[in-house]
Amino acid sequence: MSNPAKTAVVRQPDPAVTAAGKRMTSLKSNLIGYAFISPWLIGFLVFIIGPMIASAYLSLTHYDMLTAAKWAGFGNYAKLFGEDDRFYTALKVTFIFAVISVPLKLAFALIIATMFNGKHRGIGIYRTVYYIPSIVGGSVAIAVMWKQLFGDEGAVNGILQLFGVQGTNWVTNPDTALSTLILLVIWQFGSPMLIFLAGLKQIPGEIYEAAIVDGANRFQKYARITLPLLTPVIFFNLVMQMIDAFMAFTQSFLVTAGGPLDRTLFYAVYLYQTAFGHFEMGYASAMAWVLLFIVAAVTLLFFRSASTWVHYESEGGR
């Protein structure tokens, strides 16, 4: 027979002790999580946030890297917008480069991805071969090769002579220099091509089968099914490639050095020349912040327009 007195003295867990235990468990779990992400967190603070803060400060000073920085307020920004004609030239060249090269590059990448979206013998080899330009396109060797191809005695002029056309030095001609750089960028279409290819493979085959039953031809299937369902991928590629275009540096710096007559003076090249050629680090920092705000504004514009043309299946359409 049980003793009622003993049953009455069974000890209940102390709520304060239980809450403290939960807090310790949660704290331990959080510390483990922070320990795992600490390498990235330290790198982010040291190599991104720290330089950004330093750049923001330097943009408000006169600093030549040899003497101490002198406070200038918004003098660098006033000079940039009010006195510097090369700033507007670099901005114009960069906008033209971005507006022309990005749509052409994406269109070319989409066409090639569509061609490779099938089961053909050796298709993996072809995809690898077409991706190689994206890997080597920014190298010094490719820049030298590009100058040779479009030089006076390059392969391009050699082919034109076969048809009786007199060529020119496409790289040093002010009217054609920027076009050669745009061609170089379009040639590096491998990365967006792979992303398009991944997007094409995510489109369910049942949708195409239903369209065939309804009598849709190949063009109608591509225009009414493939492109609408691929718009999120197109949007992603568009944003990423446009940001890359505004930050383009290697092509202009290695192939034309910003010339001739500043016709290929990309914004990043002018920024580099200002910082490390003329040692005007404060002025260059102001240029960097202006570029950041331009890229942010263009990206925001894309995101605001996405609701009108990007189709998301999970959200019931647009």
How does residue 315 score in pLDDT terms, banded at 50, 70 and 90?
low
- Angstrom distances, CA of residue 19 to CA of 10, 11, 41: 20, 17, 30
Q: What is the dihedral of CA 188, 192, 194, 196, to 10 degrees?
A: -140
How does residue 1 score in pLDDT terms, banded at 50, 70 and 90?
very low
**237 closest CA partner among 285, 265, 199, 201:** 199
Q: What is the dihedral of CA 95, 191, 189, 268, to 10 degrees?
A: 30
Q: Which two tokens stand for residue 40?
A: 């990235």
Sequence-separated contacts (24+) of 174-177 with Cβ below 8 Å: 174/260, 174/261, 174/263, 177/256, 177/259, 177/260, 177/263, 177/264
Q: Which two tokens stand for residue 318?
A: 């647009």
**92 closest CA partner among 264, 277, 269, 296:** 264
Please determine, for residue 160, whether its predicted confidence score (pLDDT) is greater than 80: yes
Whole-number pLDDT of residue 255: 87
How does residue 142 score in pLDDT terms, banded at 50, 70 and 90?
confident
CA–CA dist 185, 179 (Å, integer) = 10
CA dihedral sign, ordered 216, 222, 226, 227: negative
CA–CA dist 39, 55 (Å, integer) = 23
Mean pLDDT throughout 127-150? 77
**What percent of the chain has pLDDT above 90?**
53
Please determine, for residue 74, whether its predicted confidence score (pLDDT) is greater than 50: yes
Question: What does pTM read for this prediction?
Answer: 0.83
Distance of CA 30 to the CA centre of its chain: 33
